Amino acid sequence: MSYVKVAADYADQVISGEIPACAYVKSACQRFVDDLTRDFDYHLDIPTVDRWCSFLERLPHTKGRWAAKSERLKLQPWQVFLVVNIFGWLDESGNRRFREVYVEVPRKNGKSLLVAGIGLGMLVLDGEFSAEVLCGAATESQAMHVFGPARAMCRMVPDLAAHYKISVAAKSLYTEKDGGMFQPLVGDPGDGSNPSCGIADEFHEHANSNLVDTLVTGMGSRNNPLMIYITTAGQDVGGPCFGKREDVTRLLKGTVEDDSIFGIIYTIDANDDWASADVLRKANPNYGISISEDFLKGQLKQARRSAIRQAAYKTKHLNVWVGAKAAWMNMLAFQACRKKLSIDDFRGRKCFVALDLASKIDLAAMAILFPGENPGDVWTVFCKHYLPEEAIFDERSDRYAAWHADGWMTTTPGNVIDYEYIEEDLKAIAKNHQVVEVPYDPFQATQFSQRMLKEGLPMVEYGATVKNFSEPMKELESKVLSRSIQFDMDPVLFWAAGNVCARLDLKDNIFPNKVQKDSAAKIDPIVATIMAMARALFHERETTPYEDHDLYVVDL
């Protein structure tokens, strides 16, 4: 069997549409096809591919009906495609092209068993002296999802352990000849490890990047290291996993080039109907093999009947990042509206600048919305974010620190927000653009608004009520779904959008809420965006679009 031909055929069938696949999988396949004829520093080494695929197919299944029959792994074409890409591309010295691998695939598609086999191969097949394979996860039980099958493989095939002289312990595998090891790793590890291979299993569950950072920085003395991220979609679009995913999507879209990273994401496309059974094959490459058609269709039926089950179905079986557990925003559609934009390109344009100043000890947000200049034009949103400097160093602020370092968040000295920073930004926007109105919530902002009125800015009180928020919130969602609005690549705004739950009243009015009142998942940037949308719609229609509803104020 030619494993390279299997991989090439798979890529061709995906590109042609014979195999249903999303745009990201098609891009990964097109990249492989292009590389086959590309003149660059790497070649596809067939003996290495054959050695790895043959090794993996000699390993046993460890659970379920195939394990009961003592069957060995049978790599499916998509899995062969992964292995050929990860291990086949070598330079003249025999070192791998790819040093980072990101694979995102829904549950029950055989990813843990495949990665367990790869971990074993990195221990005994890779040729690394005293190899150190560490499988990191957020919890011990999760870390065992990869290490456990690898250990079971060694116990179920004594000849394997004997041939490679592997000693099997409860939480480690050792190679006697050179002291190599394969171990699970949990939580925040200390320095001192020297991994040749790191595996971050279910990376979406990692609250921060500490574990991965330690693994990657510890690889410095290895000639041919490999870092593998394996995960399903999750809910924390502000976490390290989604950040890594965004790096991969830019690579697959061709906006950046990096020959050291391989990535593939099995999901659905933004314009797909999640409630259709037709899209299940797109997201689940092992459809009808390790995960049954009847099971998936049963899960779909439950999700159609229950809004509570929809988020779980989308993340676990369609690999869609949905943000909050009862999310309001379609995050796949929101992602499609994000572009690399510059506010300088909108100089002189009319805009609405909304402020959610919240508490002076927490996140504050400014949203700048540019309506389309003509009917049918795309609207544009930029945001600015403010935080007290000391809040950067609290225990939950890893993401804040990263966003601040990347220039997405402004910090002010001390432990409370200095509104002068916001005032200066607001005056600068007014200098370069035609600010029609500045809606603000009067709570926490009375003195601020008075100072801005003296500066000649058109401040407008805008309370946090259902009357004020329902229609613009619905309109914002509609514009996202129709792609008639665009956002900068601002990760703070994107995170906030994923944190919003829609509170529905008996009259079908909606209001933005967090999952929990005291949650660290902030929604202030989206609240400010909705306020700006409201005033823009008011001016567009020249009459108030709102009906007289009962009012209530919600603690944001």
pLDDT at site 68: 81
pLDDT at site 310: 82
- Residue 200 one-letter amino acid: A
Ranges 317-321, 343-347, 356-360, 505-509: which has the least confidence: 505-509
CATH of 335-541, one of 3.30.1490.20, 3.30.420.240, 3.40.50.2300, 3.30.930.10: 3.30.420.240
**3 in Cβ contact with 84 (< 8 Å):** yes
For residue 549, name the pLDDT band (cuts at 50, 70, 90). Answer: very low
pLDDT at site 545: 41
pTM above 0.85, yes or no: no
The mean pLDDT of 405-427, rounded to a whole number, is 90
Higher-confidence position of 467 and 76: 76
Query: Mind listing the pLDDT tens digit for each residue in 201-236?
Result: 899 988 888 888 888 888 888 889 999 999 999 888
Q: Give the tokens for residue 179.
A: 């002291």
For residue 70, name the pLDDT band (cuts at 50, 70, 90). Answer: confident
The structural domains of the chain, with segments of one domain joined by +, span 3-265, 335-541
The angle, 0 to 180 degrees and rounded to 10, between the axes of the packed helices 446-454 and 419-432 is 40
For residue 448, name the pLDDT band (cuts at 50, 70, 90). Answer: confident
Asked whether residue 189 carries a pLDDT value surpassing 80, the answer given is no
- Residue 530 one-letter amino acid: I
Q: State how far the Cα of 282 lies from the Cα of 238, in Å rounded to an integer.
A: 26
Contacts of 64 (CB under 8 A, 6+ apart): none
Q: Is 372 helix (H, G, I), strand (E, B) or coil?
A: coil
Contacts of 486 (CB under 8 A, 6+ apart): 337, 338, 339, 341, 378, 379, 380, 381
CATH of 3-265, one of 3.30.479.30, 3.40.50.300, 3.80.10.10, 3.30.930.10: 3.40.50.300
Q: State how far the Cα of 319 lies from the Cα of 374, in Å rounded to an integer.
A: 37
Task: Of 336, 339, 343, give the one whose Cα is nearest residue 366.
Answer: 343
pLDDT at site 497: 92
The chain-wide mean pLDDT, for the chain, equals 88
